[in-house]
Amino acid sequence: MQIKLKSIHFQNWKCFQDQVINFNLDTVVTKNIWVVFGDNGYGKTSLLQGILWCLYGVKAIFPDTRQQPKFVTFFNSIAVKENPSLEMSVILTFKQGEELYRITRVVKRLVRGNNVNFKQTTFSFNKSGKEKPDTKENIESLLPESCKELFFFDGKKIEEYAKLTHSKETRNAIEQVLGIPEIRNLIDDTKKVRKEIEQEFDNISSTKNELKKVSQELNEIKDNISIKEATKNQTLQDLQQERIILNALDKEARQSDEAQSKFDEINKLEKTESIVIKDLEQISEKIKTSFRKAPIYLLSGLVREIADEIHTKTLINNKQLADTSLLEKLIINDECVCGRCIDTEVRQYLEEQLEKAKNSRHLYKQAVDNQKLHTELSMLCRTPSPDLELLLLRRDRLEEDLTETEQAIKKLKQDTDGFDRDSIKKIWQKLYQQENALKQKQDQIDRLERDIEELEEEQSKLQKQRKKLASQNKEAANLSRQSDIADRLYQAADELVRWQIDNSREIIEQYTSEIHQKITNKPEEYKGVRINQDYTLGIKQKSGDIVNPEEINFSPGEKETLAFAFIAGLNQASGKAAPLVMDTPFGHLDPIHKKNIINSLPELPSQVILLATGEDLPQNILDDLAPYIVQTHVISRKGDNRFSSVIKIE
DSSP string, 149-182: HHHEEEGGGHHHHHHHTTSHHHHHHHHHHTTHHH
Q: 287 to each of 279, 299, 380, 393, how far by Cα in Å?
A: 12, 19, 18, 11
Going by pLDDT thresholds of 50, 70 and 90, the confidence category of residue 296 is low
Higher pLDDT, 185 or 609: 609
Helix (H) or strand (E) holding 368: helix 362-382
Question: What CA dihedral angle connects 138, 140, 142 and 144, to 10 degrees?
Answer: 170
Within 13 Å, how many C-alpha atoms sit on residue 8's CB side?
Answer: 28
Within 10 Å of residue 297's Cβ, how many Cβ atoms?
A: 15
Using a 10 angstrom Cβ sphere, with 0-12 exposed, 13-18 middle and 19 or more buried, the burial of residue 172 is: middle
> What pLDDT, on the 0 to 100 scale, is given for residue 380?
62
Higher pLDDT, 589 or 434: 434
The whole-number average pLDDT for the span 626-640 is 90
Question: Is a pLDDT exceeding 80 seen at residue 278?
Answer: yes
CA distance 440 to 442: 5
Q: List all residues 6 or more positions away from 319 whose beta carbon is below 8 Å from its beta carbon.
A: none
Q: Distance between CA atoms of 244 and 441, rounded to whole angstroms?
A: 14
Q: Report whether pLDDT(362) > 60.
A: no
Residues 6 or more apart whose CB falls under 8 angstroms from that of 211 comprise 204, 205, 466, 469, 470, 476
Tens of pLDDT, residue by residue over 497-509, are 778 777 777 888 8
- What secondary structure letter does DSSP report for 540? E
Q: Where are the alpha helices (DSSP H) in 7-67?
A: 44-56
Instruction: State how far the Cα of 249 lies from the Cα of 256, in Å rounded to an integer.
Output: 10
Of residues 636 and 568, more confidently modeled: 636
Q: Which amino acid is at 503?
A: N
**CA triple 224-227-233, angle to 5 deg:** 135
Options 2.60.40, 3.40.50, 1.10.3470, 1.10.287; CATH for 294-382 is 1.10.287
Find the farthest-apart pair of alpha carbons in the chain and give their distance in angstroms, rounded. 180
Q: How far is CA 172 from CA 240, 247, 259, 547, 629, in A?
A: 14, 22, 38, 24, 34
CA distance 557 to 521: 9
Phi, psi of 79 (to 5 degrees): -65, -35
Question: If you average pLDDT over residues 191-207, what whole number do you get?
Answer: 68
pLDDT tens per residue, range 279-289:
989 988 888 88
Q: Tell whether the model's pLDDT for residue 37 goes beyond 90.
A: yes
Q: Where are the domains of the chain?
A: 183-272+417-502, 294-382
Cβ atoms 531, 509 nearer than 8 A = yes
Q: What is the pLDDT of residues 96-153, one digit of tens each?
A: 988 999 999 999 999 998 899 999 999 999 999 999 999 999 998 888 887 787 788 7
Average pLDDT of the residues in 30-46: 90
pTM of the model: 0.60
Highest mean pLDDT among 256-265, 450-459, 489-498: 450-459
Could you give the CA distance from residue 647 to residue 544 in angstroms, rounded to a whole number?
51
Output 4 or 246, whichever has higher pLDDT: 4
Question: How big is the CA angle at 381 (ends 379 and 387), to the nearest 5 degrees?
Answer: 110
Kindly state the average pLDDT of the residues 566-577: 76
DSSP string, 402-442: HHHHHHHHHHHHHHTTT--HHHHHHHHHHHHHHHHHHHHHH
Banded pLDDT at 80 (limits 50, 70, 90): very high
Please tell me which residue, 498 or 418, carries the higher pLDDT value.
498
User: Which tops the pLDDT comparison, 546 or 135?
Assistant: 135
Candidate ranges 181-185, 352-356, 590-594, 634-638; pick with highest mean pLDDT: 634-638
- Please give the torsion angle defined by the CA atoms of residues 529, 531, 532 and 537, in that order, rounded to the nearest 10 degrees: 60
611 vs 487, higher pLDDT: 611
